[in-house]
A = this chain, B = another copy of it.
Amino acid sequence: METQAEQDNILRGGQFLIKETACEDIFTPEDFSEEQKMMRDTVKDFIDREVWPNKEKFEKKDYAFTEEIMRKAGELGLLSIAVPEELGGMGMGFVSTMLVCDYISGATGSLATAFGAHTGIGTMPILLYGTEEQKKKYVPRLASGEWFGSYCLTEPGAGSDANSGKTKAVLSEDGKHYLISGQKMWISNAGFCNLMIVFARIEDDKYITGFIVEYDPDNGITLGEEEHKLGIRASSTRQVFFNDTKVPVENVLSERGDGFKIAMNALNIGRIKLAAACLDAQRRVITNSVKYANERVQFKTPIAQFGAIKSKLAEMAATMYAGESASYRAAKNIEDRIAIRQSQGNTHQEAELKGVEEYAIECSILKVAVSEDIQHCTDEGIQIFGGMGFSEDTPMEAAWRDARISRIYEGTNEINRMLTVGMLVKKAMKGHVDLLTPAKNVADELMGIPSFDTPDYSQLFSEEKEMIGKLKKVFLMVAGSAVQKYGPALEEHQQLLMAAADILIEIYMAESVILRTEKLAKRDGEDKADTQIAMARLYLYNAVDIITQKGKEGIASFAEGDEQRMMLMGLKRFTKYTNLPNVVALREKIADKVIAENEYCF
């Protein structure tokens, strides 16, 4: 068992903003265990063999094929990673769960969505909130792929405002079952699921309630036609109509009125897994792009040799690398937090619930960052392919279309942006994360005279780590003043919240990529890690630009006169490089490596 001191090294959710993290204290993809690497290779192999060669089927809306692949994934045990052994699962930790989400999603968003809807929001609510009976009855079937699950929350009038649904659950006269009636929309896996997690309102309850509903067409459940969608074409998405559907009272999830909480917690886990589910798709886009760029000759030159193309490859690789770094860092935090909770006597269920909830901020950050990175990455992939990128004969356009959904579901990126800052402010109010003291320190620092000492930057990343520290000050300065100014009304200032969220997101991503690389360089030496060092520097450089922009926008929106001048000066100080990196050279370096290896090779 860990000592309290060891436990304290694990940051609490949101604390990354106010504490410095040592690179030894984060988990990185370089730290995968042998078991994890084997798992990764198994999944990759499955995708290479069964899925990638059949990509066309997914684009042709072959829903049955999606189901078939899901069934095969079940046979391989891939649907049961997160399920405890006593419920027929593999009982692996959160990092391994993420790893499987990551690699199983490489070939098509259709499978990523089917997998995510089933193993995530379709199964987790029972795992996290189910009674022993419910778990025993349903989880083993879901874990094996004998049954598939879906999650029915959204309604025509209730999307982002998930608690506003009109679906009703009425207790029968004998008190033995509920009768559910209502219309659900956009339900992934609806076309082939056996079990539905359904949210409905009992009487005039403030909050909705969750139910486990077995799919039975003779029990008042009707499915709409398949929706025709921009992307993830072979992911089944239908409306579901409930008309006095009988559900035994034993199938209520947790307590009456707990539905909204269940829904939100299921989404927290869903969000970080969604980030993972964008990663391997990006790796493959980068690898296919560099292969094409190495082969395609124009002006007697492989286009990979043109600076315009190198620039794209480098940016694609650097954001990919950052996305990986942050995703697995947060995943391990969650895993550790669960272990701590368990060691403190929590049940596995409680521990998992609280462990993920703790990092809800990081989950939202990752959802937004990685879903936007993959959009950009696939967009550049198309551009590198030129006219061929516009053709269904190359894998770029489907990747671009598939990526688009990730910015919409599991909470839109707008909702998630606002959540990141909103949750942080709430944590501060509750005293879980002390933002006020550091915010005050920054304010004091602004009034003081800056130090003109020439700092010692001889150590790897010393300037970069100092910069991360300064960027945190930018957030504390902007968000701190905003909270002071607007108090709880801050939530009405959405443009400001969005700007603050972008600052927060970039800090987390940039810090993660620097720490991962520092750890790597300490292990392998700086020479061997030189491309990774370049990627970390490039990512940070871009982050500084975004933070400068968003900081300025935020400041100008609420501060005037002297206050504005002082804060702008602070912004300048906190975003200033002593040694401005030559990003053109960094990109060249990164691209040259990717080009030489002919793949994303980190």
Contacts and interface: CB of A to CB of B under 8 A. Distances in A.
Contacts of A602: none
Listed residue (A390, A409, A418, A552) with the most chain B CB atoms within 10 angstroms of its CB? A390
B580 A161 contact: no
Contacts of A496: 307, 584
Nearest to A312: B414
B397 A383 contact: no
A128 to B, nearest CB: 25
A556 interface: yes
A390 to B, nearest CB: 5
A414 B159 contact: no
A454 interface: no
Nearest to A546: B549
A230 interface: yes
Contacts of A492: 307
Contact of A494 (B227, B307, B407, B494): B307
Contacts of A386: 159-160, 408, 412
A495 B412 contact: no
Nearest to A386: B159
Contacts of A390: 229-231, 404-405, 408
Given A230-B397, A308-B418, A400-B230, A587 B392 contact: no
Interface in A83-103: none
A409 B308 CA distance: 17
A568 B580 CA distance: 10
Contacts of A568: 580
B298 A160 contact: yes
A493 interface: yes
Contacts of A228: 391-393
A408 B160 CA distance: 35
Interface residues of A, number: 68
Contacts of A307: 492-498
Contacts of A383: 407-408, 412-414
A310 interface: yes
A154 B387 contact: yes
A568 B157 CA distance: 52
A319 B422 CA distance: 30
A311 B392 contact: no
Interface in A403-435: 404-405, 407-409, 412-414, 417-418
A400 B564 CA distance: 39
Interface string A299-324: 10000001111110000000000000
A557 interface: yes
A389 interface: yes
Q: Is the interface of A mostly helix, strand, loop or mixed?
A: helix
A401 interface: yes
Interface in A375-399: 382-383, 386-387, 389-393, 397
Given A154-B387, A307-B495, A308-B494, A401 B230 contact: yes
A186 interface: yes
Contacts of A525: none
Nearest to A186: B387
A249 interface: no
A581 interface: yes
Contacts of A306: 414, 494
A585 interface: yes
Contacts of A229: 390-392, 397
Contacts of A418: 308
Contact of A556 (B495, B552, B583): B583
A336 interface: no
Nearest to A582: B556
A520 to B, nearest CB: 25
A495 B408 contact: no
A463 interface: no
A464 interface: no
Given A310-B495, A383-B407, A556-B580, 18 more contacts: A159-B386, A159-B387, A160-B298, A185-B387, A186-B387, A227-B393, A230-B382, A230-B390, A230-B401, A306-B494, A307-B494, A308-B414, A308-B417, A311-B495, A387-B409, A493-B584, A495-B584, A495-B588
10 contacts: A159-B298, A159-B386, A160-B299, A227-B393, A229-B391, A230-B397, A307-B496, A307-B497, A557-B583, A557-B585
Enumerate the 5 nearest inter-chain pairs by beta-carbon distance, A residue then B residue, closest first: A307-B494, A557-B584, A230-B397, A228-B392, A161-B298
